[in-house]
Amino acid sequence: MVGGRRKKQHFSRIHAFTCGKAYFRGDHSLIGGPGFSRVVYCNDPECFEASLLNYGGNYVRSTKYTLATFFPKSLFEQFRRVANFYFLICAILSFTPLSPYSSISNVLPLVVVIGATMGKEAVEDWKRKKQDIEMNNRKVKVHQGDGRFEHTKWMDLKVGDIVKVEKDEFFPADLILLSSSYEEAICYVETMNLDGETNLKLKQALEATSSLHEDSSFQNFKAVIRCEDPNANLYSFVGSLEFRKEQYPLSPQQLLLRDSKLRNTDYIFGAVIFTGHDTKVIQNSTEPPSKRSKIERRMDKIVYVLFALLVLLSVIGSIFFGIATREDLENGKMTRWYLRPDETTIYYDPERATVAAILQFLTALMLYSYLIPISLYVSIEVVKVLQSIFINQDLHMYYEEADKPARARTSNLNEELGQVDTILSDKTGTLTCNSMEFIKCSVAGTSYGRGITEVEKALAWRKVSPLAQDVTEEEGQVEEFKKEKPSVKGFNFLDERIMNGNWIKEPRADVIQKFLLLLAVCHTAIPEVDEEAGRTSYEAESPDEAAFVVAARELGFEFYERTQTRISFYEFDPLSGKKVERSYNLLNILEFSSSRKRMSVIVRNEEGKLLLLCKGADSVMFERLAKSGQEFAELTKEHIAEYADAGLRTLVIAYREIDEQEYVEFNEQFTEAKNLVSADREEMIEEAAGKIERDLILLGATAVEDKLQNGVPDCIDKLAQAGIKIWVLTGDKMETAINIGFACSLLRQGMKQIVINPETPEIKALEKSDDKSAAAAAFKASVLQQIAEGKRLLSSSNKDSEAVALIVDGKSLTYALEDDVKDNFLELAIGCASVICCRSSPKQKALVTRLVKSKTGSTTLAIGDGANDVGMLQEADIGVGISGVEGMQAVMSSDIAIAQFRFLERLLLVHGHWCYRRISSMICYFFYKNIAFGFTIFFYEIYASFSGQAVYNDWFLSLYNVFFTSLPVIALGVFDQDVSSRLCLKFPPLYQEGIQNVLFSWLRILAWLFNGVLSATIIFFFCIRAMQHQAFRKGGEVVGLEILGATMYTCVVWVVNCQMALSISYFTYIQHLFIWGGIVFWYIFLIAYGAIDPDISTSAYQVFIEACAPSGLYWLLTLLVLIASLLPYFAYSAIQMRFFPLYHQMIQWIRSDGQTDDPEYCHIVRQRSLSHTTVGYTARFEAKSKSSKERARDH
Amino acid sequence: MTDTDRGTQRDRHSAFSLFTQQSLPACKPVLTPEWVIMTFLFIGFIFIPVGLVTLRASHSVVEIVERYDIGCVPEPFRIDKVSYIQDDSIPKNCSLSFKVPKYMKAPIYIYYQLDNYYQNHRRYVKSRSDKQLLHGQNEHGISSCQPVEVNNDRPIIPCGLIAWSLFNDTFTFIRNRAELKVNRKNIAWKSDRGHKFGKNVYPFNFQNGTLIGGGKLNPTIPLSDQEDLIVWMRTSALPSFRKLYGRIEKDLDVDDVVVVHLMNNYNTYSFGGKKKLVVGAKCNK
């Protein structure tokens, strides 16, 4: 392999790259001191010194529990919930004589409930365990001595091992790069899992070790690395390498981090320095914050309210009990002698009535515990898991191409999906596919390319829709170009005038030729020729650059070789019609930078002419055109505006011929500048480049589509109609971000843009000076001023209800997020229809998310696909990960993973809405049924001298929540649909119900609680009045305690189940089964339980068969109580439905009237929406039709 | 169409996929005015006949309620009724009479009604031993009978407060100087007689303590036949309750005068409870 090594070109040669020259800096003197104590004996992990150090292994554990800690830890977790703790106390107390019921009947439900929750925990943790096992059992080649490398499991790696990582493998631990397949010992690393950046990073080993190319060269390799202790900082590293008695400094340049990937390099050798939990990436990972939904938090409050109610009732009860007990002995004489107050226990002692009352308080706490639904938490968890399964199963969110369904990773947040107020979205990979396609160009004032962008598609679709008949332009063109997609990646250009060599027939063929030539030459891409297929592919720094080279190739200028000094390509020769080989001498590359916004190359063509080829942003290019070179400037500008509005990235293409003299001068200055070591090196280079990049001759412009994912504009439009605010937070530069804003209709022409980007020359000047604080202050002042200006603009435009967009760049964001500014900033941002933050770091993304979440109190959803979005995903109320191409980091830290952005529409509008509605009605209903039940118990106490005697049999009590009423609630929570999915999507404003929390407002909750009390009152008083003195049966027997209990219980079961049937409007066989099944089950239970030996069934013995069933009174009473308890609710909801319908009820109306396909009705219903749509193409369309109407009026 | 396409197409219509896609056929009622009116009409349709039937049934019943707890205490003792009732030396005979307002058809049910008597007090309800009632002599399982479980170190059968406080007023009915026979059999629930009170369990050591609560039991009759005990031990649900005393199996004519001789033994005076005698029957011929 030594001789036959492939000579490849490297970026290092092309760039003015400053690599490898490491030197000892101040930090290195710290080595060996505190915090820098790690010593690694390379290739000798078994040696004595190393064994003393005992660094941890490479096993990584992400599970919450181990086998040993599962029980104590998860039990502890369970009983941290107040309600569960309360039930635990009740269970313990139920073994004392205080208990109003038998202990077993009380403990069993608790065991069931806690057991179910713990089971769920165990299953979840097991899944994590399986992932760990997969990760820890991956294999990597490790040096075993004698130059042999063998596959070893990741978890068996030790500090000091030498590993050989091959192309496209992940690094198993943090490594120090020793050598690679390249002679210079460089390698390319993709750190997407760490920071989300897709571009490759270059790492280079020390020269001292760079010659170790062979497996065998490690036979006798010995070195000692001393470095810092494990820490979380990804971008710093301090260490030294002792090799052959020499010390060499180590820097981050030699550090390869776990979870990053080796790219474009055949193999590398590295020494393991940090393993397992010591690695930087794991040190960096924070515990995923456990998120709870707003509804659940409010539910906790309701539980507290119920606790308060419980205590109140208990206090009332115990006071009355105390009084009654005290009166049992009057002047030493017994009053209620049948209770034997003379020979009593502490619980009923009239002489210590206060103590008795306090003890009675505890009894009452236990007795009224049915006010608090023990099964609420577990039911909700079960329901949420089932809801998640439905989300995962949804075929409409299944991405067939990648075989990826939606995956709800935490089921905690389902209902939160129905309340999202603000979406914070990443751009690259989330809104876009992260692939650039060359789609249009403007050459010599003619626009070529008939590809259709996603935006145009969306607009075109909108035009055909019936509501928008006023504007009809260019409609015919749409169908015509729906041709097959070209199979070439990065190329979506379609124009018969240019393709297949037809360009020579165009009037300005000479310009087109130069244009294409420039595309083929002016870049920094590296070709990779696949000899067998005869195709050339390119490795470029950015995907747009690759798109240019691909475009040039497809149009006949195939670039195939780059050496340090030459660029070679095949050119399609218009005269002979053959491919001709050409090669240009590459003289200089003037690189792209964000301040220059352009790049150029200087080449000498085969005729010996010197050419400067330049491409750049229109803002800098037009001012650099020569007077004579502006032939097509106006037309080109027009085209660029058009392209930009269609959401394309544009670059202006220009060139210039240079004479020798000028070049020599330039080259001198440029080389000098490059060799400078001072701080203003960059500036000098810029200045030199600027001098020569002038008097350019315009050729045209290119338009590259940063391809939006399928259906993104449509989805954004629907979300906007639903009243959700959408913010884009991107690390990309402002221009790109704005383009995408246009592409997804978040921005549109005519929208006022507030740009906060105070890069004024004064501030730049200040920055160059050493006075950093002054610069910062000036910058901040300028940001403040711009925010203030923006607010003024906002308030003025609010009057004419114009939409305003806010665009902030990362640096300004730093200041805008400072404590004293952020409120101002947020106020401005909330007022704007769309907000775009560009150049924002992962941390800033998270900060913005936190700001929105904490200050507005509204629900935020963050969506992203890269590791740089992790912070944002974790910070937001809901994090949605896109399981796209960019690694799994985002998905792993997300709450819900989907494959495509467009699935968000269904996830929120359908599943979110449903889940929100389901959970909120479920919780309301839960409280209702427990209040209804609990209050009958309380009312009975009034008639039982508050002694704590329960009206129901013990097992009736304890099975109420678990059996007779739980299944219908679960059916409600899992299956209920107020509006079908089709209509959910058709009427996005329905989503507002969730944002404004209509279905779970305190008023509604209290109304349900009131309904519960009402039902209890009706049930109880009807029953006791009807049964008190009446002969119950033919034989003249009267009603005892057990019959009253069974009858009342029957009424409660009927009432709560029928209340459920009344309050839902969606019955499948499942609902029927559970609701009516619950009632039937009660009777079956009553019969079965009554048939058991009276020892067990106690007071329920034969109560149904002998007493209730033969009695007409029992059946009549059930019917009467049932109807009477439901009537108030029925009347209320009938009136509400008819006269004050909620939004979903309006939709139900028009559905039952069969008007959902009547566009007029739909329009009217949409108009009833609670908020005005300001972004999305619907709004864009409305704005456009409005302005065109105005124009028509003006004419 | 590819194979997978066809697969999903087919899936889409299978019952399972209807379930997973949440598109099961469903009935979606909406509360339209028509429905609401229909419902109300329907409820009326059901309830009006039911109401008429109940009303008629209620009119066909005659019920005579006579309170006797005060009337049965002789004038001089009315100041301190408690000491009157606790004084065993004073005879407790008493009589009252009523006129039959309507024809009463046999069987005529006789109830006694107590008010303000908390038979549903937790201490009271618990103070019994179902095991003992069914199986008899058993030292264990009578701890629940506190505080009336043993006397002179021997268990009481039946133990507990309920049995101890057995109601012991008695009534004899006389019409036209002839005694009306009161049938006191079959007044308890059958399941109680058969499965809760033992056939071989006899009262033992009952009401032998220093403090005597209520009625005594004939120790030669097994518990399963002590029907007034069984009735009494089925605790009432509410503090005002009636219990079946017996049946008169003869019809009573309008304006018949019935004289009731009763033994006013039971103490409700100390807690201010009322005692009533209730005679009820159907009145239609």
Is A847 in the same domain as A967? no
For residue B275, what are the contacts with CB-CB under 8 A and spacing of at least 6? B67, B68, B69, B112, B113, B114, B115, B169, B264, B266, B268
Which of A138, A171, A199 lies at the terminal end of a domain, its last residue? A138
Q: Give me the residue label for tokens 């990741």.
A: A154
A978 catalytic residue (yes or no): no
CATH of the domain at A603: 3.40.1110.10
| pLDDT the model gives residue B148 | 81
- How many angstroms separate the CA of residue A395 from the nearest CA in chain B? 7
Asked if residue A790 is part of any domain, the answer here is: yes
| pLDDT the model gives residue B9 | 44
Is A1084 in the same domain as A1131? yes
- Vertex A1166, ends A1164 and A1172: CA angle to 5°? 120
8 A C-beta contact, residue A1028 and residue B120: no
| pLDDT the model gives residue A14 | 44
φ/ψ of residue B268, rounded to 5: -115, 5
Query: Is A1138 in contact with B31 (Cβ distance < 8 A)?
Result: yes
8 A C-beta contact, residue A882 and residue A899: yes
For residue A763, what are the contacts with CB-CB under 8 A and spacing of at least 6? A775, A778, A779, A782
Residues of chain B found within 8 Å of residue A1115, distances taken between Cβ atoms? none
- How many angstroms separate the CA of residue A390 from the nearest CA in chain B? 6
What is the Cα–Cα distance from A467 to A863, expressed in whole angstroms?
Answer: 32
Asked if residue B38 is part of any domain, the answer here is: no
| pLDDT the model gives residue A1049 | 94
What is the Cα–Cα distance from A1049 to A1046, expressed in whole angstroms?
Answer: 5
Asked if residue B37 is part of any domain, the answer here is: no
| pLDDT the model gives residue B3 | 40
User: Measured between CB atoms, which of A335, A944, A1119 is closest to B120?
Assistant: A944
- How many angstroms separate the CA of residue B107 from the nearest CA in chain A? 9
Provide the number of structural domains found in chain B.
1
Nearest to A418 by CA among A994, A1001, A1143: A994
| pLDDT the model gives residue A677 | 60
Query: Is A1095 in contact with B131 (Cβ distance < 8 A)?
Result: yes
Q: A27-36, B92-101, B231-240: lowest mean pLDDT where?
A: A27-36
Is A1075 in the same domain as A1015? yes
Asked if residue A888 is part of any domain, the answer here is: yes
Asked if residue B24 is part of any domain, the answer here is: no
**What is the distance in angstroms between the CA of the first residue and the CA of the last residue of chain A?**
78
Q: From A363, which residue of chain B is nearest by alpha-carbon distance?
A: B122
Asked if residue A720 is part of any domain, the answer here is: no
Average pLDDT, chain A: 81
Residue A116 in contact with partner chain B when CB distance is under 8 A: no
| In A332-491, beta strands by DSSP E | 333-334, 407-408, 420-425, 432-443, 446-448
Is A546 in the same domain as A557? yes
What is the Cα–Cα distance from A133 to A148, expressed in whole angstroms?
Answer: 26
Please classify residue A858 by burial: count the beta carbons closer than 10 Å to its beta carbon, then call 0-12 exposed, 13-18 middle and 19+ buried. Answer: middle
Asked if residue B11 is part of any domain, the answer here is: no
What is the Cα–Cα distance from B8 to A760, expressed in whole angstroms?
Answer: 59
Asked if residue A120 is part of any domain, the answer here is: yes
Which residues of chain A, if any, have pLDDT below 70?
1-28, 45, 192-200, 284-289, 454-489, 531-534, 541, 574-575, 577, 594, 676-679, 749, 758-772, 799-801, 884-889, 1168-1195
Is A1006 in the same domain as A1112? yes
| pLDDT the model gives residue A1083 | 93
User: Measured between CB atoms, which of B21, B118, B188 is closest to A336?
Assistant: B118
Query: Is B29 in contact with A335 (Cβ distance < 8 A)?
Result: no
Query: Is B124 in contact with A1067 (Cβ distance < 8 A)?
Result: no
What is the Cα–Cα distance from B18 to B41, expressed in whole angstroms?
Answer: 37
Q: Does the annotation place A649 within a ligand binding site?
A: yes
Is A251 in the same domain as A297? no
What is the Cα–Cα distance from A364 to A946, expressed in whole angstroms?
Answer: 8
| pLDDT the model gives residue A689 | 83
Asked if residue B123 is part of any domain, the answer here is: yes
8 A C-beta contact, residue A232 and residue A283: yes
Which of A284, A306, A341 lies at the terminal end of a domain, its last residue? A284
Query: Is A395 in contact with B8 (Cβ distance < 8 A)?
Result: yes
CATH of the domain at A242: 2.70.150.10
Q: How much is the ipTM here?
A: 0.93
Asked if residue A33 is part of any domain, the answer here is: no
Is A218 in the same domain as A346? no
Asked if residue B20 is part of any domain, the answer here is: no
User: Measured between CB atoms, which of A1068, A1106, A1116 is closest to B189?
Assistant: A1106
Query: Is B213 in contact with A337 (Cβ distance < 8 A)?
Result: yes
User: Measured between CB atoms, which of A949, A1031, A1148 is closest to B125?
Assistant: A949
Is A1007 in the same domain as A859? no
Is A875 in the same domain as A930? no
What pTM was estimated for this model as a whole?
0.81
Provide the number of structural domains found in chain A.
6
| pLDDT the model gives residue A473 | 37
| In A647-711, beta strands by DSSP E | 648-658, 697-708
Distance of alpha carbon A333 from the chain centroid: 74
Substitution target in A326, A327, A337 with the highest count of B β-carbons within 10 Å is A337
Is A239 in the same domain as A295? no
Asked if residue B13 is part of any domain, the answer here is: no
Q: Give me the residue label for tokens 């308060």.
A: A308
Where in the sequence is the domain holding A108, given as residue range(s)?
60-138
CATH of the domain at A750: 3.40.50.1000
More confident residue, A597 or B68: B68
Is A163 in the same domain as A128? no
Which of A278, A426, A809, A978 is the catalytic position?
A: A426
DSSP 8-state symbol, A275: -
Where in the sequence is the domain holding B266, given as residue range(s)?
62-282
What is the Cα–Cα distance from A371 to A934, expressed in whole angstroms?
Answer: 5
| pLDDT the model gives residue A1084 | 93
Which of A138, A171, A198 lies at the terminal end of a domain, its last residue? A138
8 A C-beta contact, residue A931 and residue A1010: no
Is A844 in the same domain as A960? no
Asked if residue B153 is part of any domain, the answer here is: yes
